[in-house]
A and B are shown apart, each in its own frame.
Chain A
Amino acid sequence: MALKLALVVLFLIPTLFPMFWIVVSSLKSNAETHTLPVTFLPTEWVWENYKEVFERRNFGRYLFNAATVAIATTAWGVLVAAWSGYGFARYDFRFKPAIMAFVLVAQSFPRILLIIPYFQFANRFDLKDTYIALILAYSTFIQPLCLWIMKEYFEQIPRELDEAALVDGASPYRAFWDIILPLARPALGATAIIGFLTAWNEYEFALVLTSTERVRTISVAVASFIGEFTTEWNLVMAAAAIATMPLVIVFLFFQKQLMHGLTGGAVKG
């Protein structure tokens, strides 16, 4: 046990060190971030940095936007993936292998090149600077992976269960919704986490598809502290900490459910 714990600590140190360094740097004065030799703890703890970050940018709004987009992406993206994943798992039809193959391969196209088509798409449908544009983009990104995860999981669920429901006169949709979906909770958990993190973390599309702070998400706000003439690393780090802390807290709070979702529901080998 002692050996195991020692190994855990050994791996945890490099894993968490950047987080530690973000927090330490965020509490230094700007001058101290540029003082040699480098100090491992702030000589003076400048908590005002966090206040300043909130004053300079509307961080509350950015966090709210990020949460809205992430939750909606998770809900919509996962629902679509589950719905269609069920179709792929339970029915055979022409082109199915080709479609499934394409689904997997399609995510190999560089996302950078999707930015302009999405921007044009958002313009055409009057979706520019809206949550919907971002949610659609992110739901598309998570679609391939989540679709595969859901399909694989549904295939593990015995077909007898839906057949029994169908014999009882339920429609396949009802069988899916009432019988199968609740059983797939672990896989839903896994895909939900992937969806949430994708939407929360994404930068380039958030930059291009939004133009005001009404919709703009947290990662753009963090990047905005890297300036033309100056980069105040203490504020950059404070912004990074603010952007990350809510997720860490949520994960810690719901660790049981989330980890169960992740580990119980991810792709079956």
Chain B
Amino acid sequence: MSTTTTQSVAATAQAPARRRTKARIHPFLFVLPSVVMLVLLLVLPIGQAFIDSLRVDGSWSFDNYVRAIRRDHLARIAIKHTFIFAAVSVAGQYLIGFAVALLLNERLPARGLIRVLFIVPWMFPAVVPGIVWRWMFDGLYGVINEVLYRIGYYAETDPPIAWLGQTSTALPATIVANIWRGFPFIMVLLLAGLQAVNSELYEAAAVDGANVWRRFWDITLPAMLGISYVALLLAWIGSFMNFAIVQVMTAGGPANSSEVFATLIYKNAFLYADANYAATLGIILLALLMIPGALYVRSTLNKGHA
């Protein structure tokens, strides 16, 4: 890796040549460990997957991509579901996360304790959210149906709803579980952002007689834009790739009504022994996700170094 030393702290224009040569090695040594790990354990596998995706029966071909785009009815369904799953999840996680962050930024008794309680959903091992929500949504023994009976939403004679057993509610149920699982992460990021907002601005606004809504709209929201980009991007990636919740709750069913890209990739890679096609779907997923990621990176890099 070569370096340009124009903005380097270590090497300045008047530094002696010996020092400069040495300085060139510093950024290299700093950046090296992370880059080595990422190259070995991310770049190489992704590259390999890309090569695999172009192999069909031992020769080079685009057929896997043609198959995914033109012939595989499940890929089409899964893309649609993945977009719905991710969009609704991110919106829900962001709105709830923002609301809770605003609330927790206020003076509250036992605030530390309350904050910890709000990140409990994030502490469960990966399979547990799916397990517990599946059990709560269960059509026979589920507590959610029981609550609906108790509060009188169902009449005594109504049959219970099979939340995970009908095509109209299976995907929404997994989204509910995913919002629950994911909002604490957003909440934490936004809380950090809120604490960075200059409190003098609020005081000045209060002196000017601005109401709560105005203060939120004029001060909080603009200050939160940057962190919101990051939070939304990370939430989008997380939901778009979500596997554990859908797999445990519905495994993509019933009748493919909650099939998402990640479960489809899993099935091709691990149940159908079709690794090359699974790699193809993975590359497509990566390409779809690169768009928001690249936009974000461009905007921050331009901002940071303009």
Check A-B contact in the complex, CB < 8 A: yes
| Residues 197-250 of A at the B interface (beta carbon under 8 Å) | 197, 200-204, 218-219, 222-223, 226, 233, 236-237, 240, 243-244, 247-248
Closest to B237 in A: A108
Q: Give A160 Cβ to nearest chain B Cβ, in Å.
A: 9
What B residues does A11 contact at CB under 8 A? 96, 99-100, 103, 118
What B residues does A148 contact at CB under 8 A? 230
What 7 new A-B contacts, CB under 8 Å, besides A36-B141, A103-B38, A243-B125? A15-B118, A18-B132, A22-B132, A113-B282, A255-B115, A258-B116, A269-B193
What A residues does B99 contact at CB under 8 A? 11
Q: Are B120 and A117 in contact (CB under 8 A)?
A: no
Binding site for B on A (CB under 8 A): 4-5, 7-8, 11-12, 14-16, 18-19, 21-22, 25, 33-34, 36-38, 40, 80-81, 83-88, 90-95, 97, 99-118, 121, 136-137, 139-140, 143-145, 147-148, 155, 159, 162-163, 166, 172-173, 176, 190, 197, 200-204, 218-219, 222-223, 226, 233, 236-237, 240, 243-244, 247-248, 251-252, 255-256, 258-259, 262-269
What B residues does A264 contact at CB under 8 A? 192, 195
Stretch at the interface among B66-74, B162-170, B202-210, B292-300: B292-300
Q: Which 9 A-B pairs have the closest CB atoms?
A: A87-B30, A269-B226, A84-B34, A108-B289, A91-B27, A266-B192, A269-B227, A219-B125, A117-B45
Report the separation of the CA atoms of residues A121 and B135 in the bound assembly, to the nearest whole angstrom.
37
Report the separation of the CA atoms of residues A268 and B275 in the bound assembly, to the nearest whole angstrom.
40
B201 within 8 A of A: no
Closest to A9 in B: B114
A18-B132, A248-B120, A251-B119 known; A112 and B243 CB under 8 Å? yes
What B residues does A99 contact at CB under 8 A? 31, 35
| Residues 10-32 of B at the A interface (beta carbon under 8 Å) | 10, 26-32
Report the separation of the CA atoms of residues A32 and B132 in the bound assembly, to the nearest whole angstrom.
17
